[in-house]
Amino acid sequence: MKRREFLKIAGFTVFGSTFINPVSYINSKSITRSTSKMKLRFYPYTLELKHVFTVATASRRTTPVMMTEIEYEGVVGYGEASMPPYLGESHQTAADFLSKVDLSQFDDPFKTEEILAYIDSIAPGNPAAKASVDIALHDLIGKLIGQPWYKLYGLAPEKTPYTSFTIGIDKPDVVRQKVKEAEKFKILKVKLGLDNDKEMIETIRSVTDKPLRCDVNQGWKDKEYALRMIEWLATKNVELIEQPMPKEWIDEHAWLKERSPLPIIGDEAVQRLKDIRKAHGVYHGVNIKLMKCTGMREAYKSIILARAFDMKVMIGCMTETSCAISAAAHLSPLVDWADLDGAELISNDLFDGVKIIDGKVTLNNRPGIGIIKKQ
């Protein structure tokens, strides 16, 4: 689909890449009914990455996101769908999905359980598009109440974890440069799964002894090899291994979990709440991301479920603006490990929000998810 054709379908007016004029999606029903109705707006945006980003499966320089706004009685909640291309969602799929959303049937944004069940029922899949509604709704509710979400969750803001910062797969001199740029972060996350895993680790270890987390993104295709690699990594101050083998390899991961000296965390294998149960006995923990599990509400439930199974919990992200990162950050006092560097990887953030200060996820006292749109 050509760009002009897409904009026509979605009803957008877009000028350049950063100045955006969102157009309300108001169906005929909502125009004729009470003004105390929620109005959903959305517009596409493209995140520009500071560095070309390479993982075991792909390389890229941009990430398409869809920004949402829900307005109710003059208050606006912000949301975001981040859609790395390999996950199957796009500006087009998100626009198609969000065009089907009719919030005018709900008289009260506080009925989140009902509203989000409706959103989930509109179509299968589309987890990021669904999350963009969930996040905007949470931001709206927090603003209507005048409270930040960490307080509504009953959490202590000082209990936020330190986040890791991701070093993509690259040549040794670039990797060394990235490690230097990541000075403020206390923990690094290393992407593995190509044929230069040991080189990557040794390059990083030549310049820093910070704790590392290794994300293999399903890159290892042999369980014995995976175990040998993990045993080697365990001698290199590595904290955990994320998704070492293909997500469909249940028995192989269970086998590895029994033998691994490091915790094995399921990421691609764990998308929605229902996957947490399946991950029990297969992984030591799960990586929960708003863009996988449709947003804050299901993420909160997923954390509760994982804890009931005595599993470890990481909260992760895609490349995202400070909108979706801030939303995830409100849940972070509940987790063992945070990987919320998404907004640090981009050069054109739209929001001021939760900050990473000296490597620590740092919440503010603003209501909702705690963000302000940059002018």
Question: What x/- string results for residues 114 through 133 when contact with a second copy is judged by CB under 8 A?
Answer: x-x-----------------
**CB 344, min distance to a second copy, A:** 27
Residues 90-109 close enough to bind a second copy by CB under 8 A: 108
**CB 134, min distance to a second copy, A:** 11
Tell me the sheet residues that pair with 316.
289
Cα 174–chain centre separation: 25
**CB 73, min distance to a second copy, A:** 15
Residue 308 as a binder of a second copy (CB under 8 A): the answer is yes
**CB 150, min distance to a second copy, A:** 8
Question: What x/- string results for residues 53 through 92 when contact with a second copy is judged by CB under 8 A?
Answer: ----------------------------------------
DSSP code of 147? -
The letter for the amino acid at 344 is: E
Which residue in the set 51, 151, 236, 373 belongs to the binding site for a second copy (CB under 8 A)?
Answer: 151
Question: What x/- string results for residues 325 through 344 when contact with a second copy is judged by CB under 8 A?
Answer: --------xx----------
The residue (of 123 and 156) whose beta carbon lies closer to a second copy is 156
Cβ atoms of 49 and 347 within 8 Å: the answer is yes
Give CA–CA dist 40/87, Å, rounded. 24
**CB 291, min distance to a second copy, A:** 20
**CB 119, min distance to a second copy, A:** 13
Q: What is the 3-state secondary structure (H, E, C) of 58-126?
A: CEEEEEEEEEEEEEECCEEEEEEEECCHHHCCCHHHHHHHHHCCCHHHCCCCCCHHHHHHHHHHHCCCC
DSSP code of 14? E
Which residue in the set 301, 352, 364, 373 belongs to the binding site for a second copy (CB under 8 A)?
Answer: 301
Please state, in angstroms and as integers, the Cα–Cα distance from residue 186 to each residue in 31, 88, 162, 325, following that order: 51, 33, 7, 18
For 64, half-sphere exposure in the C-beta direction (CA atoms, 13 angstrom radius) is 16
The letter for the amino acid at 292 is: K
Nearest-5° Cα angle at 342, 170 to 328: 145
Please state, in angstroms and as integers, the Cα–Cα distance from residue 364 to each residue in 97, 320, 345, following that order: 32, 19, 21
Kindly indicate which of the ranges 41-49, 51-59, 272-280, 353-361 contains the residues binding a second copy, using the contact rule CB under 8 A.
272-280
Residue 159 as a binder of a second copy (CB under 8 A): the answer is yes
**CB 163, min distance to a second copy, A:** 20
What are the φ and ψ backbone dihedral angles of 3, each rounded to 5 degrees?
Answer: -60, -45
Q: Which spans of this chain sit near a second copy (rule: CB under 8 A)?
A: 108, 110-114, 116, 141, 145-147, 151-156, 159, 273-274, 276-277, 297, 301, 304-305, 308-309, 333-334
